[in-house]
Every structure is written in structure tokens, then in C-alpha cells.
Amino acid sequence: MRPTLVVIVGPTAVGKTEIGVRLAEHFSSEIISADSRQMYKELKTGTALPSPEQLARVKHHFIGNLSIHDYYNVSMFEQDVLALLSSLFPEKPVIFMVGGSTLYINAVFHGIDDLPSVDQELRDELQQQYKENGIEFLRNKLKILDPEYYQRVDLKNPNRLLKAIEISLMTGKPYSSLLTAPSRERDFRIIKIGLNKNREELFEQINKRVDEMFDKGLPDEAKLLFPYKNLNSLNTVGYKELFLCEEGKVSMDQAKEQIKTNTRKYAKRQLTWFKRDGDIHWFEPDHTNEILEFLKKELDE
């Protein structure tokens, strides 16, 4: 059988984890988590990790493998996943990838260009200048460094402008000249399965999950992490809102509501991204048998 990566995607809280475990169990396989926040070992209750029981049923990768203090990025994820896959495929021809971090998943699908990693000093400096001089400053700078990218970038999005300026300065070449849209051929097959349900139910599930996180002590965990609130790894739904509460800017109830709202928005953004991918086969999360039948048929071919 040709080595196959079965990827299960969908909005947060739709039920990816349990289905992934069931399918992986059925094929005696392992799971690669594609979740940019479940990788941080300090984030325990706010990231909807697989339960200890689920982790015991199937071997998971990229769960709690980093510290919030570590630097990590999409490209590293792509490399790490490819390396892992080549070590797993000889033994297990079907591997599952389960998660909702769209850009990370995309990097595994198509690859991502080889760019230098952030120079924190440069980033801080540009950030400072942006704060002092506004977005016009970034636009003018980019216009000189990379007029081509300036034409097509979202000129209202400071992160995009900063990124392009950073890379252009670091490499001495226009950022856009380094973007070759690789679309690398993979030497394994990819089957994409999408899970979705009606919006109302999904939102109910999100609200319920946030309530459960609070019951499990999310506010206490956030309090412990408060000293590190400026780390990128903690710019995360479920924590950033509680940091505001810790600072006395919102009440605990307001923080909870904001977590629900921000999780809903996140789910929406995920769906916008996934909807664009025409190769995804969509299913209702409770139709496990249907998905299993589909997979068996696909893998037989």
C-alpha cells in the first residue's frame, strides 16, 4: 500500500480528537497533532488536549513537546512532520494527522518557502518604529524594499508589512522574490477529511467546552502563567482574556464570555480557510461509520 497521510480537519470543538483516535485505533496507527497550541506543555486546560484516556489509546505526536518559552514556527513544523513521517511509514503505511492550525496543515500539504527565522532584535526595532510612526511608516519602507509585494499585500495589516520588511532587510532581497509558492510533491498520498456540523450546534459545543475549562481550573492556570503574558505562545484564546481579568480590565464573567466569543470567531476563520480547499471530503462528526467506510474504500484503491 502506498504510504498515506489521512488528515482530519475542521473547526475547533467539532469533535476531531475522538474521531481521530477511533480511526487511528482501527488502523493500528498513530496521530500527528496539527495544533499550534497543544504543543506547549504548560498549556493544559485551555487548549482542549486529548484526554489521558485518548492519549493512552493511540500514540500522539506534537502534544506538549514544547515549552512556552521555545521559539517555533510553521516551517519547523513542516520539517518535523516530514521527518517523523519518514520514520513511521515503513512500519505503518497509514498515519493520521488531526488538528485545526490551518497554516501548519497547509505547510504539510504544500510546503513553505525557505526563509530565515526571525531576528528578534530587528523585529522589536521595527515594532517600536511602527508604534511611534504608524502604519504609513511601514508602507513607505516596504514600498522601497519590495515594490512588487507592496502592490498585492494587505496594506492595512501591520503583521504582513512587518514580516515582509524583516525578511527583505535580513536577506537583502525583496521578500516577494523569495516566495516561490513551492507546492512540493509529497512522496506519500494525502486524504483529506473535514468535519463540520451546523453552526448553532457547534457554537453550543464551544460554549459548553469553555464552561468545562473553567470548572477544571483554567483561571488558576492562567494566573500562574500571567508573568509570561507577553510570550507569543500565550497570545492564545483562553489565556489572553484571563490576563485582562488579572489586570483588572474585565471581570471574570466578562473574560469567560470573551473566551467563548473569540473561540467562535476562531472557528469561523478556520472554516473560511478549509472551505477553500476543494480536496476535502466533508462529514458530520457523529457519522464515524460512514467515514470509516469511505476510508476503507479509498485505501483499497
State which of residues 53, 87, 121, 156 lies at the interface with RNA (CB under 7 A). Answer: 156
State which of residues 4, 29, 36, 205 lies at the interface with RNA (CB under 7 A). Answer: 36
Least CB distance to RNA at residue 93 (A): 28
265 touches RNA (CB under 7 A):
yes
Least CB distance to RNA at residue 182 (A): 7
Distance CA 233, CA 252 (A): 22
Nearest CB to RNA, comparing residues 51 and 232: 232
Q: Please give the residues from 114 up to 143 whose contact with RNA meets the rule CB under 7 A.
A: 114-115, 117-118, 123, 127
Residue type, 60: H
Parallel/antiparallel/unpaired status of strands 189-195 and 281-283: parallel
Question: Which among 86-94, 189-197, 272-280, 283-291 is the span making contact with RNA, rule CB under 7 A?
Answer: 272-280
Distance CA 65, CA 50 (A): 14
180 touches RNA (CB under 7 A):
yes
3-state class (DSSP) for residue 147:
helix
- Exposed, middle or buried, 40 (CB in 10 Å: 0-12/13-18/19+)? buried
Residue 87's CB: how many other CB atoms inside 10 A? 9
269 touches RNA (CB under 7 A):
yes
Core vs surface per residue 126-150: b (16+ CB within 10 A) or e: beeebeeeeeebbbebbeebbeebb
# chain residues binding RNA, by CB under 7 A: 60
Least CB distance to RNA at residue 297 (A): 29
Distance CA 35, CA 32 (A): 9
Q: How far is CA 269 from CA 43, 187, 234, 273, 275, in A?
A: 22, 30, 19, 6, 10
State which of residues 12, 17, 54, 207 lies at the interface with RNA (CB under 7 A). Answer: 12
3-state class (DSSP) for residue 10:
coil
Nearest CB to RNA, comparing residues 48 and 191: 48
State which of residues 271, 280, 291, 295 lies at the interface with RNA (CB under 7 A). Answer: 271
162 touches RNA (CB under 7 A):
yes
Question: Which among 85-93, 243-251, 257-265, 287-295 is the span making contact with RNA, rule CB under 7 A?
Answer: 257-265
103 touches RNA (CB under 7 A):
yes
Nearest CB to RNA, comparing residues 84 and 122: 122
Question: Which among 58-66, 215-223, 244-252, 255-263 is the span making contact with RNA, rule CB under 7 A?
Answer: 255-263
169 touches RNA (CB under 7 A):
no
Residue type, 55: L
**Segment (H or E) for 153:** none
Strands of 189-195's sheet, edge to edge? 60-61, 31-34, 94-99, 4-9, 189-195, 281-283
The residues binding RNA (CB under 7 A) are: 12, 35-38, 46-48, 72-76, 100-104, 112-115, 117-118, 123, 127, 154, 156-160, 162-163, 179-182, 199, 203, 232-233, 235-238, 240, 261-266, 268-269, 271-273, 275-276
